């Protein structure tokens, strides 16, 4: 029988390569027919409470009327136009909002396609900055272990070289510099020795370092680890001392996820370059932005090329920009602050008994803003654990040793309670390996 005549699920299994999966031994896929609010509706008729916000981007849930209307309106006007030599209202409105919402020192916006691409842009900006200052030897990057910045080529090589999914590619790319991961947690008492390894690395290598790049306060796909804001503050001070740019990857943390609009605000600092993505469109379309200081932009523009050499085909896509504008207008109302605070309170309350009693399978439980993490002692069987979650009526996508949730901000208390109860139930189920 021709492959094109296969049933949808069989065709999917044979021909479609899903993320972080195998074509010969694919993980099970659940067929979503529609989504609304915080629920994913499967082809079986079952509805699942979404604990992942579709990899952390759908902060207002699904099928949101205001976002739908903004997108439909723009598609009927102009779905796309190139950005080279052309500008348009949605891009101008979006960049105006980004400049307004971020630190006053961040003034210049470069729009791009996705979070990983925004990291590529930031790395290129850092390299071109020093080339423009006639210091081309400053081309390495200093990062911290357990970090993750995306799957594109440059992003892989500023992510943890050993404990990430990219270790197979290590020998093919640049040899960057990595400090030990911070050990003092977000709410713990600060210990100055935690910054010591980073301090020694930047002191030794600053003459060849273009920029430090890290995720502020919360390391995402590298382990869902939190660290103390004072660490971030010290990093900013050391970058200033040793004349190194600071790039903050706010792709996962930006737009309220940690309880601040941007996670850098926990430390009261400003980067030279910032990457944002994921939640920028409310989960509707792929879009990201790189926002830099005027100094970075001016130095690059005054260099030997006279311009920044990057220009994606779908840069500043009008439809994506329009839905982002409406999304940021919703964020400007401030409702997210109460929503995230309430989620954090419920997570802390629900996890507290288990945190106090402990469990033989669980290593640690962490909460920050609208993020709840259970780190297990052993590697998780993703397919088995995921089926257990689906059987309980929730969508949770585990990885490594981690069971975690980052739900849409609009989730109700009832749904959140069920989501957390399900997380605890699966984590403590002795019948699961």
State whether residue 392 is helix, strand or coil.
Answer: coil
Work out the number of other CB atoms within 10 angstroms of the CB of residue 36: 12
Angle in degrees, CA 295, 159, 151, rounded to 5: 95
- What does the alpha-carbon distance between residue 263 and residue 252 come to, in Å, rounded to a whole number? 10
Q: What phi and psi, each to the nearest 5 degrees, are found at residue 405?
A: -135, 145
Residues designated as active site: 20, 148, 249, 278
Question: Residue 107 corresponds to which tokens in the numbers above?
Answer: 């003034």
Question: Residue 307 corresponds to which tokens in the numbers above?
Answer: 């311009």
Residues 6+ apart with CB under 8 A from 420: 346, 347, 350, 351, 372, 405
Strands 32-36 and 39-42: antiparallel
Residue 225, strand partner residues: 219
Residue ranges with strand state E in 188-327: 209-214, 218-219, 225-226, 245-249, 273-276, 288-293
Q: Is the four-CA dihedral 167, 173, 179, 184 of positive or negative sign?
A: negative
Q: Report yes or no: 319 and 77 within 8 Å, Cβ to Cβ.
A: no
- What does the alpha-carbon distance between residue 390 and residue 48 come to, in Å, rounded to a whole number? 7
Q: Cα torsion at 175, 176, 180, 185 (round to 10°)? A: -140
Question: Residue 111 corresponds to which tokens in the numbers above?
Answer: 């729009």
């Amino acid at each position: 029988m021709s492959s094109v005549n296969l049933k949808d699920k069989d065709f999917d299994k044979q021909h479609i390569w899903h993320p972080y999966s195998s074509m010969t031994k694919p993980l099970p896929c659940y067929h979503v027919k529609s989504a609304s609010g915080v629920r994913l509706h499967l082809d079986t008729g079952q509805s699942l409470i979404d604990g992942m916000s579709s990899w952390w981007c759908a902060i207002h849930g699904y099928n949101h009327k205001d976002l739908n209307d903004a997108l439909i309106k723009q598609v009927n006007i102009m779905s796309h136009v190139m950005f080279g030599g052309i500008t348009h209202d949605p891009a101008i409105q979006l960049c105006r909002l980004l400049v307004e919402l971020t630190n006053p020192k961040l003034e210049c916006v470069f729009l791009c396609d996705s979070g990983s691409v925004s990291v590529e842009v930031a790395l290129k900006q850092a390299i071109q900055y020093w080339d423009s200052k006639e210091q081309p030897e400053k081309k390495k990057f200093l990062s911290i272990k357990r970090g993750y910045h995306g799957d594109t080529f440059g992003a892989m090589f500023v992510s943890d070289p050993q404990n990430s999914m990219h270790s197979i590619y290590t020998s093919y790319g640049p040899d960057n510099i990595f400090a030990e991961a911070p050990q003092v947690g977000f709410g713990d008492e600060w210990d100055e020795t935690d910054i010591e390894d980073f301090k020694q690395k930047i002191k030794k290598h600053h003459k060849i370092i273009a920029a430090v790049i890290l995720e502020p306060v919360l390391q995402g796909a590298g382990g869902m680890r939190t660290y103390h804001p004072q660490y971030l503050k010290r990093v900013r001070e050391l970058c200033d001392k040793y004349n190194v740019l600071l790039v903050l990857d706010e792709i996962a943390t930006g737009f309220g996820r940690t309880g601040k609009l941007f996670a850098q605000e926990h430390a009261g600092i400003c980067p030279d370059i910032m990457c944002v993505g994921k939640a920028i469109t409310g989960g509707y379309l792929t879009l990201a932005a790189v926002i830099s200081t005027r100094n970075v932009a001016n130095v690059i523009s005054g260099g030997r090329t006279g311009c920044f050499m990057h220009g994606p085909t779908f840069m500043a896509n009008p439809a994506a920009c329009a839905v982002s504008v409406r999304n940021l207008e919703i964020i400007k109302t401030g409702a997210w602050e109460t929503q995230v605070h309430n989620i954090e309170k419920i997570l802390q309350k629900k996890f507290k008994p288990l945190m106090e009693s402990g469990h033989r399978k669980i290593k640690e439980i962490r909460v920050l803003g609208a993020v709840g993490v259970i780190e297990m002692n052993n590697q998780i069987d993703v397919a088995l654990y995921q089926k257990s979650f689906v059987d309980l009526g929730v969508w949770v996508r585990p990885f490594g040793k981690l069971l975690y949730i980052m739900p849409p901000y609009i989730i109700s208390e009832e749904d959140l309670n069920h989501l957390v109860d399900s997380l605890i139930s699966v984590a403590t189920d002795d019948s699961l390996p």
